[in-house]
Amino acid sequence: MGDKKKWFQLDLGLNKKQPNAGTCGCGKTSGGCGSHAAEPPKTGHAISSAEFDAAVEQELTQETMVGQTRKDGFQQVFDVKMDRRSAFRKLTASLLVGAGAVHTSCSVTAGEETKEKAQLDWEEQFKGNYKLMTEEEKQATVDRLVRSYQLRKKENIKMTATDASKDVLFGYAFNISKCQGYMDCVSACVKENNQDRNSEMQYIRIHEMKDGEGFKFNEADDNYYHEVPAEGHFYMGTQCFHCDNPPCVEVCPVEATWREEDGLVVIDYDWCIGCRYCMAACPYDGRRFNWSKPEVPEEEVNKNQHYLGNRLRKKGVMEKCTFCVQRSRSGKDPACVEACPTGARIFGNLLDPDSTIRWVLENKQVFRLKEDLGTEPKFWYFMD
Amino acid sequence: METVRAFRSMVKDSLGYITHGSKTYHIWMIFLTVIMLIGMYCYSIQLDEGLSVTGMNDRVSWGLYISNFTFLVGVAAAAVMLVMPTYVLKDIDFKQAVLIGEGLAVAALVMCLAFVVADMGGPSVLWHMIPGIGVFNFPNSMLAWDVIVLNGYLFINITIPLYILFRHYQGKEAKSKIYVPGSILSVLWAVGIHLVTAFLYEGLQARPFWNNALLGPRFLASAFAAGPALIILVLAAIRKFSEFKIENKTISKIAMIVTVAAQINLIMLVSELFKEFYAPTHHSESAYYLFFGLEGKTALLPWIWTAIPLNILATVLLTFHKLRNNFKVLYFCCFILFVAIWIEKGFGLIVPGFIPGPYGKIAEYTPTWIEIWVTLGIWAMGAFVFTMLAKTSIGIELGKLRYKKKKVLESETA
Ligand code: SF4
Ligand code: SF4
């Protein structure tokens, strides 16, 4: 029954006790189980509305101590999995730093460095698609990029290639009643993700809409420069929604963009040929293109990078929101969630029955944009 | 061994043949070269600075290049309209026209590929698309399909005329057992390149203006009008500038094809307009923008309101036998039809797909001079390629280029 659907449907197993079940629990063949919000709260979910607000409150106050020992449900999974990898990575990084130090101390001729640079560039130019690389190859390209940056800028960066963890599916919810249009998320995102400062690229757009007129995106202003919250307006943010059935991924001729196991839709910037077909295919204005060489002032570069996330891009490639893969895969919230002063942004693991995001999906009236297109975005809107 | 030697001699002969010609010919080639050089210079600027030197941006992410690409796929496919009757139905009339038609297809395909490359953000990593060493998202991505069918079509359209010309060059008859199956394949293939290119746009649920089942058939109809229209103009020019005989009957027959295709195209246009404007929905906004402008943004109005009257005028004129059989009127009709369809299937199709954007934002697009010059450069390259191909095949067909007869010929001219 459930598995004979004509179109793709996101299945979070919300109707079953067991998360991540293979078939849809509601047993209907047509869109029935999409309306999670209409279902009564399940037993076993004992968070009340007050507790939810308290949780949001707590998240806001915790902002200052982020990075300390706050453990989310899925972070524990990471910690176990991360150990060996990070140890390996640390080792190589220190080796590289050591090598760099040796280089400078022995005053090796510049010629050798140029040669190494050329060698690195050569290997980078002809490497394969990240999606199809083995663990070792992934690590090798990361190391090359780190080394190359070191050679060029005489600075060290930290780059990871953390893979998706099992039993994690990232999702996002946006509280329309809370957002005041401060755009702190936008600037935090630009900083975190090393976006081009020249063209003022922004992944997030905040649409300012008039009260009482409903969601009229075409009349909304997504580029305002006045004091907020403006009288008689409400705000709605859009970005890449990390569709579970992403049309952008289908159309890419070289598989430079794909959906990861944990639901993130990512791009291999080095494999992208810049045809912009994905941009035409995205119904949510989620993608951004580097029309010229992206520039970030050296002192503003976020050096904590992920291969699929905020590492520095080059001209002529596609990029977009990755739910801050460099943060989310190490158990942190994306920068926008952390930066939002009103608590309008909720992020978490959809497969964890105790996560805040699941509570929102099950207890609030949620909706998504353009649901009729069958893209199944993992980005929900709700109101208090 | 003999074949290889003959082939080498053919290449050498044709090279010699295309570097010699009348004064008009030389002026024409120099003119094209200059435009190509300007285009290349502009492309080098684009390579250096990135695509920001074009008018494209995050809101309208495809422009002049992809518009021309789309249109030229149609021109390339149109060669089939001539191939079919000649080879398959044994209609002798078309024989000479076919070689010209296939040469045109090759030139158009070369231009198509050039436009795609010009549009890429990273031309240096284009090898990612080569099956085998790259990763090819087949069968999911329509662009991957398009790369395959376009290159396949290019291959077919090079081999068939090459075979025929090579046989004629050696003074032998081309064996129909060999080229007829190839021609039938190319007929099917031409429909394929068209549909696949239409599907490229048709398959995007994000863009209601393109996500329309009539797009594919309309592509075919408009291509079978614009392509043969161009062939008629080219044949007219060849008649004028070379001794190559092209009979009136041939041109009249092609004109018939143009007429029917233009009529069908017009019917489909009416059907589309009816759907968009009788019961307009949110999805009709792109069409509104195209025809009437939205919120005071009217950049495409002059274009589309040039195209529509030209299209109607040409179709009406062509419909009357008397007018169509007057070659002056015919050439005029073909020219305006070609222009009209270039606008309609290029600019008028690609740009409105992005306007309004996914959230209703209206950002207009105007090509920059760099973009325009690169485009002109690629067109000049197409014309250059075509002139060379046409000159060689005419030379062989007229018997001026013959294997082992070179000395005789030389003594003749001396
Ligand atoms: S929002 Fe757009 S870019 Fe993001 S996954 Fe969906 S289709 Fe792709
Ligand atoms: S722009 Fe890059 S990611 Fe997008 S479809 Fe083209 S190659 Fe794929």
Residues A262, A116: one domain?
no
Neighbouring residues of A9: CB distance < 8 A, sequence distance ≥ 6: A24, A31, A33, A34, A376
Residues 275-294 of chain A whose Cβ lies under 8 A from any Cβ of chain B: 275-277, 279-285, 287-293
Which of residues B155 and B244 earns the better pLDDT score? B155
Residues with CB under 6 A from ligand 2: A 251-252, 254, 256-257, 267, 272-278, 318
Query: Which alpha helices (H) appear in chain A, and where do they start and end?
Result: 49-62, 75-105, 110-125, 135-153, 184-192, 247-251, 277-281, 325-328, 335-339, 356-363
Q: What is the DSSP string of A179-209?
A: -----HHHHHHHHHTT--TTTT--S-EEEEE
Neighbouring residues of A281: CB distance < 8 A, sequence distance ≥ 6: A247, A248, A250, A251, B204, B206
Phi/psi for A63 (5° steps) reads -45, -40
Q: What is the pLDDT of residue B399?
A: 80
Q: Measured between alpha carbons, how far is B235 from B246 in angstroms, rounded to an integer?
A: 7
In order along its 384 residues, chain A shows pLDDT tens digits of: 445 555 667 777 655 444 443 344 443 444 444 444 444 444 445 566 677 777 666 665 554 443 333 444 333 334 434 444 444 454 455 455 545 544 444 445 568 888 888 999 888 888 989 998 999 999 999 999 999 999 988 888 999 999 999 889 999 999 999 999 999 999 999 999 999 999 999 999 999 999 988 888 888 888 888 888 899 999 999 999 999 999 999 999 999 999 999 999 999 999 999 999 999 999 999 999 999 999 999 999 999 999 999 999 999 999 999 999 999 999 999 999 999 999 999 999 999 999 999 999 999 999 999 999 989 999 999 998
Q: What is the pLDDT of residue B87?
A: 64
> What's the sign of the alpha-carbon dihedral A93, A99, A101, A103?
negative
Distance from chain centroid for Cα A381: 17
**Does some domain include residue A13?**
no
Residue that the structure tokens 């060029």 belong to: A152
Q: What is the pLDDT of residues B376-404, one digit of tens each?
A: 999 999 999 999 998 888 888 888 888 77
The DSSP call for residue A79 is H
SS3 at position A140: helix
Q: Measured between alpha carbons, how far is B367 from A110 in angstroms, rounded to an integer?
A: 45
Average pLDDT over residues B216-230: 89
Residues A171, A89: one domain?
no
CATH code where residue A243 lies: 3.30.70.20
Q: Measured between alpha carbons, how far is B133 from B2 in angstroms, rounded to an integer?
A: 36
Closest to B114 in 3D by CA, of B387, B384, B405, B409? B384
Question: Angle B2-18/B142-169 helices, nearest 10 degrees?
Answer: 100
* Tokens representing residue B9 in the block: 């001699």
Contact criterion met (CB below 8 Å) for A306 and A325: yes
- What is the nearest CA distance from A274 to chain B, expressed in angstroms? 4
* A273 Cα nearest atom in ligand 2: 7
Average pLDDT over residues B257-270: 92
The CA distances from residue A210 to A236, A383, B53, in Å, are 11, 16, 36
Q: Measured between alpha carbons, how far is A338 from A30 in angstroms, rounded to an integer?
A: 37
Chain B residues lying within 8 Å of A316, measured CB to CB: 50-51, 120-122
Contact criterion met (CB below 8 Å) for A192 and A302: yes
Q: Is A284 in the pocket of ligand 1 (CB under 6 A)?
A: yes
Using pLDDT thresholds of 50, 70 and 90, give the confidence band for residue B257.
confident
Torsion of CA B292, B293, B298, B303, to 10 degrees: -50
When divided into structural domains, chain A yields a total of 2
Q: Considering only CA atoms, which residue is closest to atom 7 of ligand 1?
A: A282
CA atoms within 13 A on the CB side of B3: 4
Residues A102, A152: one domain?
yes
Q: What is the pLDDT of residue B361?
A: 86
Residues 352-381 of chain B whose Cβ lies under 8 A from any Cβ of chain A: 353-354, 356-361
Residues A181, A325: one domain?
yes
SS3 at position A8: coil
Residues A105, A228: one domain?
no
Q: Is pLDDT of B164 > 70?
A: yes
Phi/psi for B217 (5° steps) reads -55, -40
Q: Counting ligands in written order, which one lies closest to the CA of residue A264?
A: 1
Q: What is the pLDDT of residue A48?
A: 67
Q: Measured between alpha carbons, how far is B7 from B306 in angstroms, rounded to an integer?
A: 48
**For chain B, what is the HEC assignment?**
CHHHHHHHHHHHHHHHHHCCCCHHHHHHHHHHHHHHHHHHHHHHHHHHHCHHHCCCCCCCCCCHHHHHHHHHHHHHHHCHHHHHHHHHCCCHHHHHHHHHHHHHHHHHHHHHHHHHHHHCCCHHHHHHHCCCCCCCCCCCCHHHHHHHHHHHHHHHHHHHHHHHHHHHHCCCCCCHHHHHHHHHHHHHHHHHHHHHHHHHHHCCCCCCCCCCCCHHHHHHHHHHHHHHHHHHHHHHHHHHHCCCCCCHHHHHHHHHHHHHHHHHHHHHHHHHHHHHHHCCCHHHHHHHHHHHCECCECCCHHHHHHHHHHHHHHHHHHHCHHHHHCHHHHHHHHHHHHHHHHHHHCHHHHHHHCCCCCCCCCCCCCCCHHHHHHHHHHHHHHHHHHHHHHHHHHHHHCCCCCCCCHHHHHHHHC
* Tokens representing residue A317 in the block: 């490639």
Q: Considering only CA atoms, which residue is closest to atom 5 of ligand 2?
A: A252
> What's the sign of the alpha-carbon dihedral A328, A334, A338, A342?
negative
Write down the mean pLDDT value for chain B.
87
CB contact under 8 A, B58 and A288: yes
**Does some domain include residue A45?**
no
CB contact under 8 A, A253 and B137: yes
> What's the sign of the alpha-carbon dihedral A331, A336, A342, A347?
negative
* Tokens representing residue A252 in the block: 């890419």
Using pLDDT thresholds of 50, 70 and 90, give the confidence band for residue B219.
confident
Q: Is pLDDT of B126 > 80?
A: yes
Chain A residues lying within 8 Å of B296, measured CB to CB: none
Peptide bond into A377 cis (omega under 30): no
Angle (CA) A286-A287-A288 rounded to 5° is: 135
Residues A180, A131: one domain?
no
Closest to B317 in 3D by CA, of B332, B295, B302? B332
* A241 Cα nearest atom in ligand 1: 1
Contact criterion met (CB below 8 Å) for A147 and A96: yes
Q: What is the pLDDT of residue B402?
A: 82
CA of B373 to the centre of ligand 2 (A): 25
Q: What is the pLDDT of residue A351?
A: 92
Residue that the structure tokens 């095949």 belong to: B393
* Tokens representing residue A69 in the block: 């020992």
Average pLDDT over residues B22-29: 91
Neighbouring residues of A89: CB distance < 8 A, sequence distance ≥ 6: A139, A142, A160
**Does some domain include residue A216?**
yes
Contact criterion met (CB below 8 Å) for A346 and A256: no
Single-letter residue type at B164? I
**Does some domain include residue A338?**
yes
B interface test, pick of A216, A236, A315 with most B CB neighbours within 10 Å = A315
Residues A297, A358: one domain?
yes
Single-letter residue type at A120? L
Contact criterion met (CB below 8 Å) for A341 and A188: no
For residue A331, the enclosing domain spans: 165-382
Q: Measured between alpha carbons, how far is B331 from B167 in angstroms, rounded to an integer?
A: 33
The DSSP call for residue A110 is H
SS3 at position A329: coil
Domain extent listing, chain B: 25-403
Q: Measured between alpha carbons, how far is A334 from A361 in angstroms, rounded to an integer?
A: 19
* Tokens representing residue B91 in the block: 């209609």
Q: Is pLDDT of B69 > 90?
A: yes
Residues A179, A129: one domain?
no
SS3 at position A18: coil
The enclosing H or E element of A345 equals strand A345-349
Contact criterion met (CB below 8 Å) for A273 and A290: no
Contact criterion met (CB below 8 Å) for B223 and B208: no
**Does some domain include residue A281?**
yes
* A274 Cα nearest atom in ligand 2: 1
Which of residues A169 and B101 earns the better pLDDT score? A169
Question: Angle B23-49/B369-397 helices, nearest 10 degrees?
Answer: 140
Q: Is pLDDT of B5 > 80?
A: yes
Q: What is the pLDDT of residue A23?
A: 41
Which of residues B172 and A44 earns the better pLDDT score? B172
ipTM: 0.89
Angle (CA) B271-B272-B273 rounded to 5° is: 95
**Does some domain include residue A233?**
yes
Q: Is A240 in the pocket of ligand 1 (CB under 6 A)?
A: yes
Residues A169, A293: one domain?
yes
Q: Which of A156, A173, A207 is the last residue of a domain?
A: A156
Residues A286, A343: one domain?
yes
Q: Measured between alpha carbons, how far is B248 from B117 in angstroms, rounded to an integer?
A: 39
SS3 at position A55: helix
CB contact under 8 A, A292 and B62: no
Residues A203, A100: one domain?
no
CATH, domain B25-403, list 3.30.465.10, 1.20.1630.10, 3.90.1300.10, 3.40.50.300 = 1.20.1630.10
The DSSP call for residue A372 is G
Q: Which of A99, A134, A156 is the last residue of a domain?
A: A156
CB contact under 8 A, A247 and B361: no
Contact criterion met (CB below 8 Å) for A318 and A288: yes
The CA distances from residue A382 to A302, A363, A366, B119, B249, in Å, are 32, 10, 5, 40, 70
- Residue-wise over B305-319: b if at least 16 C-beta within 10 A, else e? eebbebbeebbebbe
Residues A152, A171: one domain?
no
Q: Measured between alpha carbons, how far is B12 from B137 in angstroms, rounded to an integer?
A: 41
